[in-house]
Amino acid sequence: MAGAGVADTAHRNGHVGSDEAHADSGGADRGPSLLGRAARGVARQVTSRIPRADLDERDPDFIRERLPLMWLASSLWYRAEVRGLGNIPDDGPVLMVGNHSGGNMTPDTVVFTLAFNTYFGVERPFYQLAHNLVLSMPGLGSLRRFGTVAASPANARKALQAGAALLVYPGGDYEVHRPFWQRNRVDFDGRKGFIRLALQENVPIVPVVSIGGHETALFLTRGEGLARLLMLDRLFRLKVLPISLSLPWGLNVGDMLGHLPLPAKITVETLPPIDLKAEFGPDPDVEEIYDHLIRLMQDTLDALAEERRLPVIG
């Protein structure tokens, strides 16, 4: 569940036009090659499959019925530990900001979604922003019933204005596919849209820091060059084509079919809410908040890394 570069690249959900225009200009020198046409066809397919954000698609009964399965995965497979959920305000809109790990299987999302839903009850509206590709993937349609909506500033604003709790991973696909040796690094790639969103909507930010998710496979490289070469950035808003060693594939390029995550121990720590206007003044500086947040989350991640003795085992 990647992706939440909330503000800057504003076009998505149904905004087919601009994406296609880019693709056309990029492929112009190559002429209407068969490959180019096929790629554009796939891109159109994907874009048409991206669901329009409809907050009503979230289904509390559906979520409740899936809690036991998630509990089994979280408790037995990942031996998860979630701390400090009491830091999240009991009601009202809140923007939860997490670091993102584990490739396309994103185990920390499973762990946190379960923990949030049992702690506050499925009755509390809770949405997660995800990359377009995640939501248009065949077979992942049920994610929308969990409250997953396509990452866009408009969708995020809609959820917060409805008074919901919203989980974003600003690092998105960039962070989730970072190499293994950067596993204990918070890397949002400078994306700050979520801060502007929190300021505009006047909601507190709750940092959610997790460790262990990036030990579920051996992530080698993001493959940014490869993604550019194949024009994936223009066609699918995908800046990476990650390469990893993972089960059951061995060498795994793209991670499009997912993989079997190793049973790494996952620890999630929820930090106290940050009231941006109270802490950074009436006219806060976005850069300053960003730096503060990254430092805070990195310090927490370092502390969690200190607790760990061995990768995977925990």
Partner 1 sequence: MRATAATTVSAPIETVWAVVADPERALSFMSGVTRWEIEGEERVGLGARYRMLLRVGSAEIGGLIEIVEWDPPKELAWTSITGVDQRGRWRLRSVAPGRTTAEIRLAASVPGSGIAGWVAERIAQPIVGSHLRHTVQQLTRLVEHERMREQAAARRSARGAAAGTELAG
User: Which one of 4, 23, 80, 293 is in contact with partner 1 (CB under 8 A)?
Assistant: 80
CA–CA dist 44, 113 (Å, integer): 31
In the complex with partner 1, which residue's Cβ is closer, 119 or 181? 119
Query: Using the 8-state DSSP alphabet, how is residue 118 labeled?
Result: H
- 85: buried, middle or exposed (CB in 10 Å: 19+, 13-18, 0-12)? middle
CA–CA dist 58, 56 (Å, integer): 5
Residues between 153 and 182 with contacts to partner 1, criterion CB under 8 A: none
User: Which one of 33, 48, 75, 202 is in contact with partner 1 (CB under 8 A)?
Assistant: 75
From residue 274 to residue 303, the character string flagging contacts with partner 1 as x (rule: CB under 8 A) and all else as - is ------------------------------
Q: Which residue stretches of the chain are H helix?
A: 16-27, 34-49, 60-72, 107-120, 132-136, 153-161, 172-176, 193-201, 224-229, 232-236, 276-280, 286-307
Tokens for 210, please give them: 């997790």
Q: Are 85 and 119 in contact (CB under 8 A)?
A: yes
Query: Identity (one letter) of the amino acid at 197?
Result: L
Task: Report if residue 59 touches partner 1, rule: CB under 8 A.
Answer: no
Phi, psi angles (nearest 5°) of residue 33: -70, 155
Size of the site for partner 1 (CB under 8 A): 27
Query: Using the 8-state DSSP alphabet, how is residue 217 labeled?
Result: S
In the complex with partner 1, which residue's Cβ is closer, 81 or 187? 81
CB of 225 to partner 1, least distance (A): 39
User: Which one of 64, 157, 228, 308 is in contact with partner 1 (CB under 8 A)?
Assistant: 64
Stretch that binds partner 1, among 7-15, 82-90, 149-157, 286-294 (CB under 8 A): 82-90
In the complex with partner 1, which residue's Cβ is closer, 91 or 285? 91
From residue 109 to residue 148, the character string flagging contacts with partner 1 as x (rule: CB under 8 A) and all else as - is --x--xx--xx-xxx-------------------------
CA–CA dist 179, 159 (Å, integer): 32
In the complex with partner 1, which residue's Cβ is closer, 113 or 252? 113
Task: Report if residue 86 touches partner 1, rule: CB under 8 A.
Answer: yes
User: Which one of 28, 35, 76, 303 is in contact with partner 1 (CB under 8 A)?
Assistant: 76
Q: Are 128 and 149 in contact (CB under 8 A)?
A: yes
CB of 35 to partner 1, least distance (A): 43
In the complex with partner 1, which residue's Cβ is closer, 115 or 220? 115
Task: Report if residue 68 touches partner 1, rule: CB under 8 A.
Answer: yes
Stretch that binds partner 1, among 81-89, 134-142, 152-160, 286-294 (CB under 8 A): 81-89
CA–CA dist 189, 195 (Å, integer): 14
Q: What is the CA radius of gyration of the chain?
A: 19
Q: Strand pairing of 243-246 and 218-221? A: antiparallel
User: Which one of 65, 287, 288, 291 is in contact with partner 1 (CB under 8 A)?
Assistant: 65
In the complex with partner 1, which residue's Cβ is closer, 46 or 268? 268
- Dump the DSSP string for 47-100: HHHSPPP-GGG--HHHHHHHHHHHHHIIIIIS--EEE-GGGS-SSS-EEEEE--
- Summarize as ranges the residues that interact with partner 1 (CB under 8 A): 61, 64-69, 71-72, 74-76, 78-82, 85-86, 111, 114-115, 118-119, 121-123
